Amino acid sequence: MSNGPPESEGDKEADEHPFDHMPYYNDTVMICRHLRSGQKLFSEGNVVILGDVNPGAEVIAGGNILVMGSLRGLVHAGAFGDETAVVSAYRMNPTQLRIANHITRPPDGENVDVSIPEVARIRTDKVVIEKLKL
């Protein structure tokens, strides 16, 4: 029982950790290097990259994508239609970001260089990018 005012649905959604409702994937691929232009990586499960994803590189995963570096290429999480999949990176600036069948890219003319960990996920049927709360 709570002593405070009741939480609205929006408050609950904002407080949810992005990794709370992720499905379990048996296969997780870990890459310990940078991906350069022209390189493609595909996994039926999750992908963890200890390095950067440079422009022209592509990462496609049936599950989640975690980039422990700069994300400046194309990523597609939840490639088989999983709308609970997330993309997280230390520096998120992809040329294109897809989750399931949702696609987003940076606005034309803007070069946002945020140096904080962020997470992209589906909320209310669109891709949103938020500061990663640990």
Which parts of the chain fold into alpha helices (H)?
9-15
> Burial of 131 by CB count in 10 Å (0-12 exposed, 13-18 middle, 19+ buried)?
exposed
Please name which of 58, 55, 62 lies closest in space to residue 25, comparing C-alpha atoms: 62
- Counting the structural domains of the chain, the total is 1
The pTM assigned to this predicted structure is: 0.79
Say if 102 falls within a structural domain: yes
pLDDT by 10s per residue, the chain, length 134 = 344 444 444 444 555 555 555 555 568 999 999 999 999 999 999 999 999 999 999 999 999 999 999 999 999 999 999 999 999 999 999 999 999 999 998 766 555 666 789 999 999 999 999 998 87
Q: Is residue 87 part of a domain?
A: yes
Range of the domain at 82: 28-131
Q: For residue 41, what is the domain's CATH number? A: 2.160.20.70
